Amino acid sequence: MESEQTSNNPPQLRPRTWVAIVSAILGAGLVALVLLLWVPGLSEDPAEAANQLDTIKVCLSVVAGLGAGVALWLSFRRQQSTEQDINQKERALSHQIAEAEKSRAHQDRVASNTEKDAAERRITDTYGRSIEHLGSDKAAVRLGGLYALERLANENEPLQQMVCNVICAYLRMPPDCSPDTLKTYLKRKRPKVAEIETDISEQQIAEEIQVRMAAQSILHRHCVESTDFRYNLAPQIWKEMTFDLAGAVLINLDFSDVVLGTISFHSATFVGPAIFNESLFEGYVNFSGARFMDYASFEKSVHEELGSTFSECVFDGTAYFTGAKFAGRGAFDSCKFKSDANFEAVHIDGPGEFYFTKFEAGFDLSTILEIDLQGATASNKDCARSWADPWVLKPKDDTEKILYFSDPRDPSPEC
């Protein structure tokens, strides 16, 4: 780089060289002047003398012109040298600025990486501590772990599904007491420990209920898309979550107004009411084998094309599906309805599958036009029943005192 800059610049003359040049020019002028003035035989003729004087003037003018030219040239060289010095300083300053910017950029990258590493360590530590808290035998510690996970998911969107998986896994873990014990505790305002067949204390039952309901509330809170004032404080919506609650014990579950993707409640146990009113099920929903120990309400719920299956469910309480919409099939085969089953104003685009279903109380299936009731049975109790043609109810036998559905279009229906 330095060799290229040197080759591009004009050659510099040393100060001694400049002094020698100026001295030579001035000396030549003085010698010429002396020779002209003092040379022997200077003509006394006025005309000749005038010519000699003119010659002297010309010589002096030439010397003066040369001196002026040298002075201008010296000024030009000085200006050029000054500009070169300034350019060199500017290049040096630009180089320093560039190096400083590179250094600052490197420092920024190092600081950013350090901050990122610190954030990741903080997330890992928070996640690890929260998981440990969920395994505590103290309810307050478990609650703290749940809410720490919720905050972690709110602040880190990529972790939302993982946090959701952890909460679902906690709900899938069996409680310390049976669902029947939990139901007995919930039904009575102040049950006596002696009235509850369990080896754990009443306080432990109450704490278990509170922790599980808190976990359910976290999942519900972040799946609600509503303008209801109750949900204005929800930090954010966890979108497109997949829930695996197969085999979970869920207590007083309220999933109203939620938007759910793929979710599994296969073989889950719902202790207390299970409410899904006006919920939107965008993905495949599996309730097969679930038990609803109290009433279940799916009023005005919407089940999109992937469908929802309720095969082999047991409804201990009243089942409300009033105004529900099924874009695909409605699978209720082999279900058992121990109380009333209300399907009033239900809309099913595909077939309504109720084959081998048991109705032990009243039911309303009148708005389901395409329905399969093959092998379904109904109690012989005096209760309100309605369904679409052409199915008819006939006594099955005298001993069981139940009715079975028969399609008159089939000359030999199978029971």
- 315 and 335 assigned to the same domain: yes
Domain endpoint, select from 191, 212, 240: 240
Could you list the pLDDT tens digit for every one of the 415 residues in the chain? 444 444 445 555 555 565 666 666 666 666 666 655 555 545 567 777 677 677 777 777 777 777 777 778 778 888 888 888 898 888 888 888 988 888 888 888 877 777 777 777 888 888 888 899 988 889 999 999 999 999 888 888 888 899 999 999 999 999 888 898 888 888 875 555 445 555 667 888 889 899 999 999 999 988 876 544 444 444 577 877 889 999 999 999 999 988 888 899 999 999 999 999 999 998 889 999 999 999 999 999 999 877 789 999 999 999 999 999 998 888 999 999 999 999 999 998 888 899 899 999 989 998 888 888 888 888 877 788 888 777 877 777 655 556 677 666 665 544 3
- 7 and 116 assigned to the same domain: yes
SS3 392: strand
- 50 and 77 assigned to the same domain: yes
Q: How far apart are CA 150 and CA 135, in angstroms?
A: 17
Residue 361 and residue 338 in contact, taking contact as beta carbons nearer than 8 Å = yes
- 22 and 75 assigned to the same domain: yes
- 291 and 177 assigned to the same domain: no
Q: How far apart are CA 12 and CA 315, in angstroms?
A: 105
- 279 and 413 assigned to the same domain: yes
Q: What is the pTM of this model?
A: 0.69
Q: Quick check: is 375 in a domain? A: yes
- 264 and 201 assigned to the same domain: no
Look at the chain and report how many structural domains it folds into. 3
- 105 and 174 assigned to the same domain: no
Q: How far apart are CA 335 and CA 314, in angstroms?
A: 6
- 207 and 282 assigned to the same domain: no
Residue 76 and residue 83 in contact, taking contact as beta carbons nearer than 8 Å = no
Q: Quick check: is 327 in a domain? A: yes
Conformational region of residue 114, where left means phi above 0, alpha means psi within -120 to 50, and beta covers everything else = alpha
- 97 and 53 assigned to the same domain: yes
Q: Quick check: is 161 in a domain? A: no
- 102 and 11 assigned to the same domain: yes
Q: Quick check: is 159 in a domain? A: no
Q: Quick check: is 56 in a domain? A: yes
Structure tokens at 318: 């009243």
Q: Quick check: is 188 in a domain? A: yes
DSSP 258-283: BEE-SEE-TT-EEEEEEE-TT-EE-S
Domain endpoint, select from 184, 211, 240: 240
- 409 and 269 assigned to the same domain: yes
Q: Quick check: is 107 in a domain? A: yes
Domain of residue 28: give its range: 2-127
Closest listed residue to residue 186, CA positions, set 213, 221, 220? 213
Structure tokens at 135: 């395994």
Residue 366 and residue 388 in contact, taking contact as beta carbons nearer than 8 Å = yes
Residue 270 and residue 291 in contact, taking contact as beta carbons nearer than 8 Å = yes
Q: Quick check: is 137 in a domain? A: no
